[in-house]
Amino acid sequence: MASKRREVDGILLLDKPRGRSSNQALGRVKYLLQAKKAGHTGALDPRATGLLPLCFGQATKVSGWLLDADKRYVAEARLGVETDSADLDGAVIREAAVPPIEPATLRELERRFSGDQAQVPPMVSALKHQGKRLYELARQGVEVDRPPRPVQIHSLEIEQIAADGLRLTVHCSKGTYIRSLVADIGHALGCGAAVDTLHRVGHGHFDAAAMVSLDSIEAAFEAGGVAAIEALLQPAEAALAHWPSVTLDAAASAAMRHGNPAAPTAVVGQTPGGADAPYEGDTGWPLVRIFDDGGRFLAVGVRDPDGQIRARRLFVPAAHAPA
């Protein structure tokens, strides 16, 4: 394979395999695509599997919104055991008998752990303490105090699948640690619990149905080279499909490419956003997707109180980027 890196734009919805870190999975796809620029949008533990959006080229400009997006998981937990990592890869620190669990107890746990929560992150995590990753300290046998962090559990369903096993279906905010949630539930039951399997099934408005396995990507490359993988990419704006959109006339499109705002009269088409369409944090103005007169994704921007459309981040497809 030629070593020269290429301009590649788009999002690949990877079904991350078990046993690889998120960076390892990203690195493999980036290598196959020979892409210059790439990043993932929310790490999964090596033990975890499922939806990991990989952003390439211009699509890395939407990664911040994907990082902030809600996530959805299905996890299986082993009861009666606690480990130092809150999953079954860790060293066992306590074992206990599992009590009989009534359906009413599960419904109470669902209510207790839904909504706004103050969650203590696990020691085995990528958060930093005095400049060092917590997992690095954990490997040295060092444990430090971790202040609780606010998270939100939008929905939680708990099903008992064995005498010592639970299945959790979780819709949560960014920053939520499913391992901490499982450990907290085990503590509430009095027997402890640790994650056995963890599978991400949704990320923002992307869901598992659109995922592509790493094996499929490898097979596509063997059959059709880089072009076969590029055919699997989604455009950057797919990550923002729930946002409202505006289409500008030719003059305003050309002006916006130089950073100039567009007057309300330059808007020749628009679509409404979803109920969860976001607003800009600093101004409170609605965020919009901006398309040019040819229907090409031009920018992420805002609509100000006077109706003007202002670009916040311009997109230049690889085909139009300067050499």
Q: What is the pLDDT of residue 276?
A: 86
Assign a CATH topology to domain 71-203. Answer: Pseudouridine synthase (3.30.2350)
Q: For position 320, what pLDDT does the model report?
A: 46
In this predicted structure, the answer to whether residue 322 has a pLDDT above a threshold of 50 is no
Q: What is the pLDDT of residue 268?
A: 97
Q: How confident is the model at residue 142 (pLDDT cuts 50, 70, 90)?
A: low
Among 122-126, 169-173, 211-215, 244-248, name the one with the lowest average pLDDT.
Answer: 122-126
pLDDT at 125: 64
What's the mean per-residue pLDDT of the chain? Answer: 91
Tell me the C-alpha distance between 33 and 35, whole Å: 5
Please tell me the predicted confidence (pLDDT) of residue 147: 81
Candidates 3.40.50.300, 2.30.130.10, 3.20.20.20, 2.60.220.10; correct CATH number of 242-320? 2.30.130.10
pLDDT in tens, 64-88: 999 999 999 999 999 999 998 899 9
Q: How far is CA 283 from the centre of its chain?
A: 25
Mean pLDDT over 12-18 rounds to 97
DSSP letters along 163-203, please? TTEEEEEEEE-TT--HHHHHHHHHHHHTS-EEEEEEEEEEE
Residue 290 has pLDDT above 80, yes or no: yes
Higher pLDDT, 33 or 129: 33
| Dist. CA 34–CA 4, nearest whole Å | 7
Average of per-residue pLDDT across 14-35: 96
Using CA atoms, how far residue 238 sits from 18, 66, 210, in Å, is 26, 11, 12
**Is pLDDT of 136 > 90?**
no
pLDDT at 237 over 70: yes
Every domain range in the chain assigned CATH 3.30.2350.10: 10-68+206-237, 71-203
Mean pLDDT of 275-291: 93
Q: What percent of the chain has pLDDT over 90?
A: 82
Query: Using an 8 Å Cβ cutoff, are 202 and 210 in contact?
Result: no
Average pLDDT over residues 276-296: 94
pTM of the model: 0.90
pLDDT tens digit sequence for 304-320: 999 999 999 999 865 44
Ranges of CATH 2.30.130.10 domains, the chain: 242-320
Tokens of 140: 């040295």
The pLDDT tens digits for 190-207 are: 999 999 999 999 999 999
Mean pLDDT of 228-233: 97
pLDDT score of 323 more than 50: no
Pick the range with the lowest mean pLDDT from 121-130, 258-267, 298-307. 121-130
For the segment 273-292, the average pLDDT, to the nearest whole number, is 93
Give the pLDDT mean for 245-252: 97
In whole angstroms, give the CA distance from residue 120 to residue 134: 12
Mean pLDDT, range 88-97, rounded to an integer: 94
Mean pLDDT of 229-238: 96
Task: Give the C-alpha separation, 33 to 87, whole Å.
Answer: 33
d(CA 261, CA 209): 38
* Catalytic residue list: 45
pLDDT band at 227 (very low <50, low <70, confident <90, very high): very high
In contact, 259 and 309? CB cutoff 8 Å? no
Average pLDDT over residues 219-245: 96
Looking at domain 10-68+206-237, does it have CATH number 3.30.2350.10? yes
pLDDT of residue 260: 96
Q: Does 229 have pLDDT greater than 90?
A: yes
pLDDT for the residue numbered 146: 74
Supply the pLDDT for residue 250: 97
